[in-house]
Amino acid sequence: MPALTPTILYRDDDLLVVDKPAGLLSVPARGADRQDCLAARVQALHADALIVHRLDAATSGLVLFARGLEMLRRMSLAFEQRVVGKQYVAVVHGHLAHDTGEIDLALRADADNRPRQIVDALRGRRALTRYQVLERVGAGADATTRVALRPVTGRAHQLRVHLRAIGHPIVGDPLYTPPELSTPSATAASARMHLHAARIAFIHPRTRVALQFDSPAPF
């Protein structure tokens, strides 16, 4: 079992906000050796905790849990209605040309290479990501950009595929980094994928108070 300890940042009778470390599954996967996950660890402390949304195992950051089925229904609806604010921080290869922008590219599962997703304008589901450059560092092959990402939709691997599609894959991404960027030196410098769920904001379903939680990126 990896020494990956989630941190509970907020708890009340209705909700939990948990900071997930990179490398830990959000929910169990197939196989006896893939049952350890964030949901199981949180439920060991709070038996009524139900995960509302997921992060990829390689992504760290904030995850919301509902306590009980009624809170799960309410918060799931809030996600569906896109009234939950989410912001991620990533470090990507290269320098983005524009300080702000949108990536509006439809996505679908790659049936021949699961769990990969691909851009498909004809058969994909619409996916929209807004971004803002925070910092550009380095030059040439060592150039990177730190960027804030706001997913408007919530497709699987959306941020990872969108950034790869515009020529700026996330540093350390094990699925979408092209071979020419997967050099030994680059791999050594990026022991993890540089993607972190840094902020979540929503209206508490019971108290109607506006809440916002932040987690600094650990890279």
State the pairing for strand pair 7-11/15-20: antiparallel
Distances, alpha carbon 178 to alpha carbons 73, 141, 175, 196, in Å = 39, 13, 9, 21
User: How far is C-alpha 194 from the geometric centre of its chain's CA atoms?
Assistant: 10
Q: Is 120 considered catalytic here? A: no
19, 33, 48, 56: which one is catalytic?
56
Question: Does a cis peptide bond (omega within 30 degrees of 0) precede residue 115?
Answer: yes
Amino acid of residue 64: L
Hey, which residues are catalytic here?
Answer: 56
